[in-house]
Chains A and B, each alone.
Chain A
Amino acid sequence: MTDLLTMLDEAGLTGRGGAAFSTATKVRAAREHRAELIVNVCDGEVGAAKDGWIVEHHLHELIEGAGLVAGDGTRRAVRYAAHRGSRTASLLAAAGLGVLEVPHRYVSSEETAVISAAHGGLARPMTKRAPFVFGGRDSQGRRIAPTVVLNAETVWRVSQVARFGPRWFRSFGTTDEPGPRLVAVGGHVPRPGVYEAAAGVALSDLLSLAGGLPPDARHVGVGGLGGVVLTASAALSTIWDTPGMKRHGGALGPGIVTVWDPYACPIDVAGELIAYGAGESAGQCGPCMFGLPALSQAWGELGRRPGVPAQERLQQRLSLLERRGACHHPDGVARFAASALGTLAAEFAAHADHRCQKERRPHAQFA
């Protein structure tokens, strides 16, 4: 058998948790430092479902992939990170696997939060002065042994690359973004579920897997709380790959497409997500701890009294969230809010005119 690292290089597999970093590079570093392997099966993003789907349907291959990544030089047995009390956690435990349970919080499944939990700390993100695959310390000086976290789908794909080869893998997707990918299609679609697709498909074809975009649909979220939102018509003309999503400020992310409820005010839907994101700050980093609630408040104000002052306040909040946390939670929420702000321009204009396109819902109190 060809060396696994060579095969991963040739396949061009990248992390399926959203960051899209080269898996070969990560695995190579993990081996060099004999890093402990943690498989992230949390489905931590809003709307995510693929990691649990893999455990339900392809557990054997997941275990095989983890064994291939770990090789025989790791410090300790592979562990699988899952939310405490989740169905995924119990399935993993029933299979006799080492389960690292993390709390049901949005940031608990973030890479460094998982590593912190794995070393006896709280499942909160850590400042990443250098990648923890080299080992390091948390902010309090606690020693962190070399640890690598790979998303469950990434590990599953490793087993497929080993089994079927890089050429098979590259027969899916695009040259730049090869390989099959799982996508959780949910929300206002006839058949929500986890589907297999690949980069380069039309977003409309992706939605067809779940029964198609209903004619009354108006907005489509791609990537959850760290993602973007598109109008339905924009979604229908968008190609699901990095260049296509970049046009909307987005990325392929962790494979989530959510059709928003057309009978709810989209400004409210976005506002609820932003408020949720604010509540999910770990409260460690000031710019996130104070900045996200302030963003959430500014969003609410703009929805109630759209106008230049409210818009400027919101923009000011958005500008102070990027790269100012230990993790990228504030960046993700800011990206989502900025995207929603642009996409919902017509809705904000309607609110400014003292009417809402969703008048059935009592939500906007106009002064």
Chain B
Amino acid sequence: MPSSPDARIAVDRVLCTGHGVCAQTLPGAVTLDEWGYPIIRSETVPADAASLAVKLCPARALYLR
């Protein structure tokens, strides 16, 4: 399996409004609490998946450390 380098994700909690897209784009690494806010299960994710998830976050709350 081709592997991309890892990246560290973080959530700007002030910006996050719980759209939940990150849980779709980063399944396993991000799950949602009962209000729809992300729970980061793993900060480290493959870099390409991370940058796609950052791009797709509607609140622009997901970022790379």
In the complex, what distance in Å separates the CA atom of A324 from the CA atom of B37?
9
Asked if B63 and A284 make an inter-chain contact with CB atoms under 8 angstroms apart, the answer reads: no
Determine, out of A13-21, A70-78, A285-293, A336-344, the stretch whose residues face the partner at the interface.
A285-293
Asked if A127 and B18 make an inter-chain contact with CB atoms under 8 angstroms apart, the answer reads: no
Contacts of A126 in B (CB 8 A): 14
Asked if B13 and A326 make an inter-chain contact with CB atoms under 8 angstroms apart, the answer reads: yes
Asked if A324 and B13 make an inter-chain contact with CB atoms under 8 angstroms apart, the answer reads: yes
How many residues on the A side are at the interface (Cβ–Cβ under 8 A)?
A: 17
Provided the pairs A129-B63, A320-B39 are in contact, do residues A284 and B13 lie with their beta carbons within 8 angstroms? yes
For A138, the closest partner residue in chain B by CB is: B14
Q: Is the interface of B mostly helix, strand, loop or mixed?
A: loop
Asked if B18 and A286 make an inter-chain contact with CB atoms under 8 angstroms apart, the answer reads: yes
For B12, the closest partner residue in chain A by CB is: A127
A365 at the interface (CB under 8 A from B): no
The B24-47 residues at the A interface (CB cut-off 8 A) are 33, 35-37, 39
Contacts of A326 in B (CB 8 A): 12-14
B49 at the interface (CB under 8 A from A): no
Contacts of B37 in A (CB 8 A): 286-287, 290, 324
B52 at the interface (CB under 8 A from A): no
Other-chain contact of B13, A127, A138, A290 (Cβ < 8 Å): A127
In the complex, what distance in Å separates the CA atom of A144 from the CA atom of B59?
21
Q: Is the interface of A mostly helix, strand, loop or mixed?
A: loop
A165 at the interface (CB under 8 A from B): no
For B33, the closest partner residue in chain A by CB is: A320
* Cβ distance B42 to chain A, nearest Cβ, rounded Å: 14
In the complex, what distance in Å separates the CA atom of A290 from the CA atom of B16?
13
A2 at the interface (CB under 8 A from B): no
Asked if B13 and A287 make an inter-chain contact with CB atoms under 8 angstroms apart, the answer reads: yes
Contacts of A290 in B (CB 8 A): 35, 37
Contacts of A325 in B (CB 8 A): 13
B56 at the interface (CB under 8 A from A): no
Contacts of A138 in B (CB 8 A): 14
Provided the pairs A129-B63, A320-B33 are in contact, do residues A284 and B14 lie with their beta carbons within 8 angstroms? yes
Contacts of A291 in B (CB 8 A): 33
Asked if B13 and A286 make an inter-chain contact with CB atoms under 8 angstroms apart, the answer reads: yes
* Cβ distance B35 to chain A, nearest Cβ, rounded Å: 5
Chosen A-B contacts, 28 in total, with CB atoms closer than 8 Å, are A125-B14, A126-B14, A127-B13, A127-B14, A129-B12, A129-B63, A138-B14, A139-B14, A139-B15, A284-B13, A285-B16, A286-B13, A286-B16, A286-B18, A286-B35, A286-B36, A286-B37, A287-B33, A287-B37, A288-B13, A320-B33, A320-B39, A324-B13, A324-B37, A325-B13, A326-B12, A326-B13, A326-B14
- Taking A285-B14, A286-B35, A326-B12 as given, write out 7 further A-B residue pairs in contact, using a Cβ cutoff of 8 Å, ordered by the A residue number: A129-B12, A139-B15, A284-B14, A285-B16, A286-B37, A320-B33, A324-B37
The list of the 10 closest CB pairs from A to B, nearest first, reads: A285-B13, A286-B37, A139-B14, A127-B12, A290-B35, A284-B14, A139-B15, A326-B13, A326-B14, A127-B14
